Amino acid sequence: MSRLSVIAISEAFKEFWNDLALDLGVAIDVLGPAEALTPSPLPKPETVAVILAAGGAERDAIQWLESHRVPQGLPVLVVGTDPGRRTAMQVVARGASDYFALPADLEIFRNAVAAALTGAGARGAAAAGGPEEAFGGIVGESPALKKDLARAARLLPHRNAHALIVGETGTGKELLARAIHAGGPRRGAPFVAVNCSALPENLIESELFGHERGSFTDAHAAKPGLFEVADTGTLFLDEIGDLPLSLQAKLLRVLEDKEIRRVGGTKSRTVDVRILAATNERLPERMREGSFREDLFFRLSTVVLRLPPLRERGDDLILVAEALLERLAGEHDLPVPALTPEVCHLLRAHPWPGNVRELKNAVERALLLSPVGQLSAEELLLPAAPEAQGEGPIPFPAPLHKITTAAVRATVQLCGGNRSESARRLLISPRRLRRLLNGCGDADADFDAADLVQPTGSS
């Protein structure tokens, strides 16, 4: 029989454990307050989760997490009475899988325990391979990436744990979300991705929540929304910061009540959906501006996963380029070329403001235009390294706007001031290039290349 191991630092919930055991049909081993803070034996082999009961003694729970270890892959669920986000962040930072404030989170906690029971087999498979098994599609060996993947791996057993993934454009936020879904107990159910910034504001409500026939001019038939399509699975909301305020309130209701109502409908529908959200912005700044709800931010950000930009990942750049080459060569039925020292030097010198997405575009273009079996440095169409420019080197990691500025100026210099060619090489529109140049401090879009290297007023 499966077992739960309860470390009862506090007696606040002592009447609860027998009821939980009866409800779930499991055996429970309880260590009382006198034993909880002393070195304890390892959980029995049949144990599928450790529950740290800390009602009113959250600081003692943090101490316990700092001084005790449990077997790898075994979830540690902390239950307390403090609903504050700070407590949740502190226990998760010290190795807990999740935190539940009772009684408010009682149903969520029961679901988490049930998920631990039903997902024990899947968890065992994931633990056997570690994060590398669960996130095999994400290439990299840098400490920054490994740390973030290790944190993400702790989410795998938890069916209902929502998370906020933060990273610059092109860092692989959707790839990470898909890996979390595929490695967890919802993996056989739908994974539905939607970019909140790509949908017109007048359509996004219907797209997410569905609509009834006749609810608006073109609603000739009822249509389920993406929440219904993703039922029992995962809904990935990319660019969550661009979700209109009116829909943020509806999303919060889904998170809290697990119910949606179609546009034009009067009936509420229950949905069982895990939300993974992503942003390349600082949502706290949006909250200060009044364009993002504070309560929604706290609900989504109990677990925050950060994907580092390519420029912070050291030699991962070459590993990612090689992996992309292998995949793209297969797609285009071409031999896989080796990366020459010259190509590696160019790749390392470029700041990659577009991250992996930009790297993929550059590598694929060079693969298609170079002689078969080779990767031409010239066809990468990368500007000279910022160090070669008149403004001197840029320290890394540097703010993204500085890196973008350097890349734009270097490209325009390389193209002799030709705006159309510069925009083509940067993979952006001429209009976007003009806006970037204005942002660089070039008030006049009709510039010459010398002004970009040595702006007016510099010595």
pLDDT of residue 452: 32
**Contacts of 60 by beta carbon, 8 Å cutoff, 6+ apart:** 9, 10, 36, 37, 54
Q: Is 213 left (phi over 0), alpha (psi -120 to 50) or beta?
A: beta
Specify burial of residue 38 (Cβ count, 10 A radius: 0-12, 13-18, 19+). Answer: exposed
At residue 3, the pLDDT reads 76
Please report the pLDDT score of residue 347 as a whole number: 92
Q: Which two tokens stand for residue 7?
A: 């470390």
The set of residues, in sequence order, having a beta carbon less than 8 Å from that of 140 and lying 6+ positions away, is: 146, 313, 316, 319, 320
Report how far residue 299's alpha carbon sits from residue 4's, in angstroms, rounded to the nearest whole number: 27
Note the pLDDT of residue 399: 52
CA angle 408, 411, 415 (to 5 degrees): 140
Whole-number pLDDT of residue 57: 77
Q: What residues does 101 pair with on adjacent strands?
A: 80
Sheet holding 3-8, edge to edge: 27-31, 3-8, 47-53, 76-80, 98-101
- Ordered domains of the chain (ranges, CATH): 3-118 (3.40.50.2300), 150-306 (3.40.50.300), 309-382 (1.10.8.60), 386-459 (1.10.10)
| Alpha carbons 15 and 239: distance in angstroms, whole number | 44
Instruction: Give residue 330's pLDDT.
Output: 85
Note the pLDDT of residue 439: 58
User: Torsions phi, psi of 223, nearest 5?
Assistant: -140, 130
User: What's the confidence (pLDDT) of residue 119?
Assistant: 54
**203 vs 453: CA distance, rounded Å:** 45
**What residues form DSSP beta bridges with 47?**
3
Strands 259-261 and 234-238: unpaired
Which residues of the chain fall below pLDDT 70? 1-2, 22-25, 34-46, 71-73, 115, 117-134, 383-403, 438-459
Beta bridge partners of 263: 211
Burial class from Cβ neighbours inside 10 Å (0-12, 13-18, 19+) for residue 19 reads exposed
Give the pLDDT score at 204.
87
- The whole-angstrom separation of Cα 288 and Cα 277 is 20
User: What pLDDT shows up at residue 167?
Assistant: 92
CA distance 20 to 102: 14
For 162-190, the pLDDT digits (tens) are: 999 999 988 999 889 988 888 888 887 88
| pLDDT tens by residue, 362-392 | 999 999 998 988 898 888 888 654 443 444 4
How many Å apart are CA 307 and CA 163, to the nearest integer? 13
At 320 the pLDDT is: 93
Of 154, 149, 144, 171, the residue nearest 116 (C-alpha) = 154
d(Cα 219, Cα 210) in Å, to the nearest integer? Answer: 10
Between the alpha carbon of residue 358 and those of residues 178, 257, 309, 349, 427, the distances in Å are: 20, 40, 12, 14, 9
Helix (H) / strand (E) containing 328: helix 316-331
Threshold 0.75, pTM exceeds: no
Query: Do residues 210 and 225 lie in contact, with contact meaning Cβ atoms separated by under 8 Å?
Result: yes
What's phi and psi for 441, nearest 5 deg? 105, 5
Q: Which two tokens stand for residue 224?
A: 């389920």
pLDDT at 378: 86
Instruction: Kindly report the length of the chain.
Output: 459
Q: Is the dihedral of CA 219, 239, 187, 50 positive or negative?
A: negative
| pLDDT at residue 72 in the model | 64
